[in-house]
């Protein structure tokens, strides 16, 4: 028996990411982001980096663009790595270069709230579901990028992400 639902509007598409080293893709459900989770970035934003409870904000799954291979996008994201491969990153260096110049350099160990703490805290308020992503924060050095900028990001032990920023037009957003 086929269960057919007649929707008033077309259902939202499923957005997905490449899983490093796998042929199967990761379907993205929700994207949770942790705000000001690096002390130096919190200070740069004019905030006190003491261990206040973390705050979260969300981005829609449609904000993800699979940048597992070099690509030109208006919003970058890379291939995901299964937790079993990352062993809960605790002390790995991170770096972001824009046009060959290092703009951000830090270490996962500098997170105010570790990945495990972020998961535990968020889980108090929202049940996590398959396909949910948690972006644990950005280090100091946040700045604008413009069309044509080439960005290369890396976390020690994981594959690098390469992105070229493109000009986004109104047509591209519809």
SS3 labels along the chain: CCCCCCCCCCCCCCEEEEECCCCCEEEECCEEEEECCEHHHHHHCCCCCCCCCCEEEEECHHHCCCCCCCEEECCCCCCECCHHHHCCCCCCEEEEEECCEEEEEEEHHHECCCHHHHHHHHHCCCCCCCCCEEECCCCCCCCCCCCCCEEEEEECCCCCEEEEECCCCHHHHC
Q: Across residues 74-96, what is the average pLDDT?
A: 73
pLDDT of residue 146: 86
CATH 1.10.760.10 is held by the domain 15-173: no
> Residue 174 — very low, low, confident or very high, per pLDDT cuts 50/70/90?
very low
The domain segmentation of the chain, as residue ranges, is: 15-173
The percentage of the chain sitting over the pLDDT mark of 90, rounded to a whole number, equals 36
More reliable by pLDDT, 82 or 23 = 23
Model-level pTM?
0.74
Q: What is the mean pLDDT of the chain?
A: 84
pLDDT for 115-170, tens place per residue? 889 999 999 999 999 999 888 888 999 888 888 899 999 989 888 888 888 776 55
Q: Across residues 44-73, what is the average pLDDT?
A: 78
> Residue 28 — very low, low, confident or very high, per pLDDT cuts 50/70/90?
very high
More reliable by pLDDT, 159 or 68 = 159
């Amino acid at each position: 028996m086929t269960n057919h639902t007649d929707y008033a509007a077309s259902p939202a598409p499923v957005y997905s990411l490449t899983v490093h080293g796998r042929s199967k893709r990761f379907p993205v459900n929700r994207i949770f982001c942790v705000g000001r989770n690096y002390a130096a970035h919190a200070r740069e934003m004019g905030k006190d980096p003491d261990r206040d409870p973390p705050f979260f904000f969300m981005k829609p799954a449609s904000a993800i663009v699979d940048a597992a291979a070099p690509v030109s996008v208006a919003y970058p994201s890379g291939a995901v790595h299964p937790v079993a491969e990352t062993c809960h990153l605790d002390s790995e260096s991170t770096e972001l270069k824009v046009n060959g110049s290092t703009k951000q350099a830090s270490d996962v160990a500098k997170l105010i709230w570790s990945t495990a703490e972020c998961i535990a805290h968020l889980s108090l308020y929202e049940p996590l579901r398959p396909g949910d992503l948690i972006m644990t924060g950005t280090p100091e050095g946040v700045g604008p990028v413009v069309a044509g900028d080439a960005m290369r990001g890396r976390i020690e032990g994981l594959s690098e992400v390469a992105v070229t920023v493109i000009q986004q037009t109104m047509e591209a957003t519809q």
